[in-house]
């Protein structure tokens, strides 16, 4: 596996691959890799000639300076995992390389970013779009792979690709879960043993909501989720929403077949976790 740290070298490598007719699959990450990331890598390896993974803890998408400081950084271990998964190129630039000066471009995604994560983390998706657009220009992929756990991020990036005519396919991959249902996340590493025992209740609450969908009103479902999680004082629910899976806007009572997403965010201590289930009602 080739490791690259500069934009110029990564861009030259990508141009050489494209000229030779190779297809490039790309998995952008912030490191602290887990099996969910490796599923994306394997999907890319199976569908492209060359797979590139980036590791960059992007400062512009963090609202909380402490969260940025504490975000897990285990680059050597990550590199070993990527090599074992047959990743071809690891692009791991520094912050100075990616942001040689303060960025002044600002993205506005309208209704897509005013709900859920966008409502609770103002400016977050501007930072996401900024770094992902930079990476797309540098890596020049044919396909880019994102996990469904960050459903709103996927929707934002898909919209950006459409609006700015990026010549690539954005692929959404299903959530990868632990055996007890907890969605895999780099932040899971920061959970205490006690918090890790409780964390699967977030998924259980979503399953409860999904099972209620055909027979109960949306208000009844929301109240049931809140009541369920109230039994776990260690969990502080930030939001639970039932939204259209594409527009991410809150739905009224469904009147026919419609794909919806049940999404939540919650804190266990200082650790913020998100999860979702996409289903048809």
Where is the binding site for (R)-pantoate, in residues? 61, 153
> How far is residue 185 CA from its own chain's centroid?
9
Indicate which residue of 37, 39, 142, 203 is catalytic.
37
Q: Is residue 37 flagged as an active site residue?
A: yes
Q: Which of 146, 61, 63, 156 is nearest to 110 (CA)?
A: 156
b/e map 138-171, b = 16+ CB within 10 Å: bbbbbbbbbbbbbbbbbbbbbbbbeeeebebebb
Whole-angstrom Cα distance, residue 206 to residue 50? 37
Residue 240: phi, psi to the nearest 5?
A: -135, 125
Binding residues for ATP: 30-37, 147-150, 176, 184-187
Q: What is the DSSP string of 46-110?
A: HH-SEEEEEE---GGG-S-HHHHHHS---HHHHHHHHHHTT--EEE---HHHH-SS--------G
| Binding-site residue ranges for beta-alanine | 61
Q: Assign 243 to helix, strand or coil.
A: strand
Q: Which of 42, 55, 51, 53 is nearest to 17 (CA)?
A: 51
Binding residues: 30-37, 61, 147-150, 153, 176, 184-187
Phi-psi region of 62 (alpha: psi -120 to 50; beta: other; left: phi over 0): beta
So which residues are the catalytic ones? 37
């Amino acid at each position: 596996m080739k490791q690259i740290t500069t934009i110029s070298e990564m861009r030259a490598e990508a141009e050489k691959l494209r000229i030779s007719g190779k297809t490039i699959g790309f998995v952008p990450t912030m490191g602290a890799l887990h099996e969910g990331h490796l599923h994306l890598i394997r999907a890319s390896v199976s569908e492209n000639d060359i797979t590139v993974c980036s590791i960059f803890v992007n400062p512009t998408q963090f609202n909380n300076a402490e969260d940025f400081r504490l975000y897990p950084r285990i680059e050597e271990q990550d590199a070993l995992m990527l090599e074992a998964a047959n990743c071809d190129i690891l692009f791991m630039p520094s912050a100075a390389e990616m942001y040689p000066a303060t960025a002044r471009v600002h993205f506005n995604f309208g209704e897509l970013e005013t709900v859920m994560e966008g409502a609770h983390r103002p400016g977050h998706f501007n930072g996401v779009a900024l770094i992902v657009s930079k990476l797309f220009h540098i890596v020049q992929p044919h396909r880019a792979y994102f996990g469904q756990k960050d459903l709103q991020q996927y929707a934002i990036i898909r919209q950006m690709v459409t609006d700015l005519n990026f010549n690539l396919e954005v692929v959404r991959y299903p959530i990868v879960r632990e055996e007890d249902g907890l969605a895999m996340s780099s932040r899971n590493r920061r959970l205490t043993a006690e918090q890790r025992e409780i964390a699967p209740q977030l998924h259980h609450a979503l399953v409860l909501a999904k099972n209620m969908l055909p027979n109960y009103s949306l208000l009844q479902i929301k109240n049931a989720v809140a009541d369920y999680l109230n039994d776990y004082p260690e969990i502080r629910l930030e939001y639970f929403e039932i939204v259209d899976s594409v527009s991410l806007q809150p739905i009224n009572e469904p009147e026919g077949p419609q794909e919806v997403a049940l999404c939540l965010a919650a804190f266990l201590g200082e650790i913020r976790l998100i999860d979702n289930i996409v289903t048809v009602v």
